[in-house]
Amino acid sequence: MYDFDSLVGDLLSQRPELSREELSRRIEEKKKTVGAGYLTDQGALFLVAGEMGISLRKDETGADLRIKDLYIGANDVTVVARVLAVYPISSFNKKEGGEGKYKRLVLFDGSQTARMTIWEEGIEEVEKLNLQTDMPVRVMSGYVKQGLDGKPNLNLGKRGKVEVVEDQKVLARIPELSSSMEKTPKLDKEEHFVALQFVVSSEPRYSEFTRADGSGGSLFQFGVEGGRGEVRVVVWSPSARPELKRGDRVVVTNVRARRSSSGEYEVHGDAGSAIIIGQKAERMKLRVAAATSGTSRQLLCLDAGGKVTVVELGEKARSAAMGDVVALAPDRESGGRLYCDSPESLNLVNDESLPKLEGLVTKLKDARQEGKPIMVEVIALSAGSVDDVRLTDGSSARKGELLLGDDTGEVKLVAWRDASGKVSAVQPGEKLRIVGVSAKLTKMGAWLLEATQTTVLERVRVRN
């Protein structure tokens, strides 16, 4: 991972006449004009440096980048991510004559995706890996060009290599497919989804057709229960045709919501989309860690692995209290939240197999997985502070900070904007139970905890 501040310092040391403010302006300008909204500050910095004849690439080779770090023009990069889509081998006509081959993949890292093209000699070795959806991979010696959609496209030539990641520390940084999956979303705009989960409502149909150019085509379609009634799922040129039955729970990957000629939204996939059949829907059992009321009712619940899930309760849904075990059959899921609207969607149960709350606390030394909200019990080591900070786009935002500790270590908690008020009144020595915070790795390689508007901060006992 690049150290952005060190790269800035390196450039400024080579161009002492350039101010930090002017460099920031050039970075923002480059992001607007060249990056088409897809360049990070880091990527824009490399392009600005290149125009000035300055090389900042000395630490590029061998560094594990994330998809968000890719920028157009990068060379000899190493990227870690998970496989989202695998396409069949395709052919093209070479400029010098003859036929060439390429293979496309789509990689993902949480909600971030990137297309990848493997050329000629590299295809055979990649085929041996038998890559499947959700497999963690490291792509080495790749280079990035602008794709037809204007986004960075990762390429792999004869020097490139792909390997399956087995290192547990690296795996902890790459969210699994389940963390990016949305269940029965309400489709109201055209957008791309990493993965959607549905319940099949009508049996599938397969058909073949002839295109205007005379080539053959095929599609696989079936109905699913959507947030607003039945939704049609269409997979063009499907790589597989699984046997689906009504009531099956399925996950469809690498898809887009599209509006049909009738005005209804449909889910469309292609040859790189996978249709994964799961088990019949079963109630998930969670322990309630916090309950809030007011304009909306929310439960913050923990699974057996200590992950926090936000449950939104409708007017007809039953209530629950801290410590209760609930069995959920949510009416829908969106953005990682469960929505229980009907009375039967939430039941209170007695289940001693699920640990008590004290057994679901995450120690600070173990808070090292991004994208996993957790519960911690800590001591405040500092008073909470809230300040206005200047952002890179020139705007300002409220930022709250608090130093926390337990018997395994110390960590900083940050809370932005409306969430910043949660830490403002905390005093040193107070024991806190904080539900719904997530670990985050900074550019400097340090871990911190980040609170959001749904985070609940409770004082466990009055400080001495």
Helix (H, G, I), strand (E, B) or coil at 390: strand
Report which residue type is found at 413. Answer: L
How confident is the model over 375-395, as pLDDT tens digits?
999 999 999 999 999 988 889
Does a structural domain hold residue 48? yes
Tell me the residue range of the domain where 247 lies.
181-277
How confident is the model over 151-177, as pLDDT tens digits?
899 999 888 899 999 888 888 888 889
User: Which helix or strand (DSSP H or E) is residue 51 part of?
Assistant: helix 41-51
**Would you state the pLDDT for residue 293?**
81
Query: Over 80: is that where the pLDDT of 33 sits?
Result: no
154/83 Cα distance (integer angstroms): 13
Q: How far apart are the first and last CA of the chain?
A: 43
Do 390 and 441 fall within a single domain? Answer: yes
Query: Over 60: is that where the pLDDT of 252 sits?
Result: yes
**Would you state the pLDDT for residue 222?**
95
Q: Could you say which of 349, 376, 394 is where a domain stops?
A: 349
Q: Are 369 and 439 in contact (CB under 8 A)?
A: yes
Lowest mean pLDDT among 31-45, 83-97, 223-237, 250-264: 31-45
Q: Could you say which of 318, 349, 380 is where a domain stops?
A: 349
**Would you state the pLDDT for residue 227?**
65
Lowest mean pLDDT among 54-63, 350-359, 374-383: 54-63
Q: Are 96 and 132 in contact (CB under 8 A)?
A: no
Average of per-residue pLDDT across 310-317: 91
Do 343 and 368 fall within a single domain? Answer: no
Question: For the residues of 105-130, what is the DSSP string, one character each?
Answer: EEEEETTEEEEEEEETTHHHHHHHT-
Question: For the residues of 143-201, what is the DSSP string, one character each?
Answer: EEEE-TTSSEEEEE-TT-EEEE---HHHHTTS--HHHHEEES----S-EEEEEEEEEEE
Does a structural domain hold residue 72? no
Average of per-residue pLDDT across 298-324: 93
- What total of structural domains would you count in the chain? 5
Does a structural domain hold residue 301? yes
Average of per-residue pLDDT across 222-246: 88
Question: How far does Cα 157 stand from its chain's mean position?
Answer: 28
**Would you state the pLDDT for residue 279?**
55
Q: Are 133 and 253 in contact (CB under 8 A)?
A: yes
221/202 Cα distance (integer angstroms): 9
Q: Could you say which of 31, 59, 87 is where a domain stops?
A: 59
**Would you state the pLDDT for residue 462?**
47
**Would you state the pLDDT for residue 209?**
93
Do 189 and 161 fall within a single domain? Answer: no
Do 166 and 195 fall within a single domain? Answer: no
Q: DSSP E strands: which ranges in 350-408?
A: 374-380, 385-390, 396-406
- Degrees (nearest 5) of the Cα angle 437, 440, 445? 150
- Degrees (nearest 5) of the Cα angle 347, 348, 352? 130
Do 373 and 439 fall within a single domain? Answer: yes
- Closest to 174 measured CA to CA, from 269, 68, 70, 250: 68
Mean pLDDT taken over the chain = 87
Query: Over 90: is that where the pLDDT of 329 sits?
Result: no
Do 370 and 449 fall within a single domain? Answer: yes
Do 46 and 91 fall within a single domain? Answer: no
Do 168 and 187 fall within a single domain? Answer: no
Give me the phi and psi of 357, to 5 degrees please.
Answer: -55, -40
- Closest to 302 measured CA to CA, from 359, 248, 343: 359
Query: Over 60: is that where the pLDDT of 76 sits?
Result: yes
Do 135 and 185 fall within a single domain? Answer: no
Do 269 and 203 fall within a single domain? Answer: yes
Query: Over 60: is that where the pLDDT of 179 sits?
Result: yes
Q: DSSP E strands: which ranges in 314-408?
A: 325-328, 332-334, 337-340, 346-349, 374-380, 385-390, 396-406
Percent of the residues in the chain that have a pLDDT greater than 90, as a whole number: 52
User: Which helix or strand (DSSP H or E) is residue 226 part of?
Assistant: strand 216-226
Question: How far does Cα 175 stand from its chain's mean position?
Answer: 7
For 182, the token pair is 């949305």
CATH code of the domain containing 403: 2.40.50.140
Does a structural domain hold residue 65? no
Does a structural domain hold residue 377? yes
Does a structural domain hold residue 12? yes
How confident is the model over 395-410, as pLDDT tens digits?
999 999 999 999 999 9
Percent of the residues in the chain that have a pLDDT greater than 70, as a whole number: 94
Do 208 and 271 fall within a single domain? Answer: yes
Please enumerate, as own/partner, the contacts of 398-405 that have beta carbons within 8 Å and a separation of 24 or more: 400/424, 400/451, 402/426, 404/364, 404/376, 404/378, 404/379, 404/380, 404/432, 404/434, 404/449, 405/364, 405/378, 405/379, 405/381
Do 195 and 168 fall within a single domain? Answer: no
**63 falls in which pLDDT band (50, 70, 90)?**
low
- Closest to 66 measured CA to CA, from 152, 8, 146, 145: 152
Average of per-residue pLDDT across 46-60: 69
Question: b/e for 369-378, b at 16 or more Cβ within 10 A?
Answer: bbbbbbbbbb
Choice between 374 and 16, residue whose per-residue pLDDT is larger: 374
**Torsion over CA of 81, 87, 93 and 98, rounded to 10 degrees?**
90
Query: Over 60: is that where the pLDDT of 34 sits?
Result: no
Query: Over 70: is that where the pLDDT of 36 sits?
Result: no
Does a structural domain hold residue 71? no
Does a structural domain hold residue 70? no
How confident is the model over 440-452, as pLDDT tens digits?
998 888 999 999 9
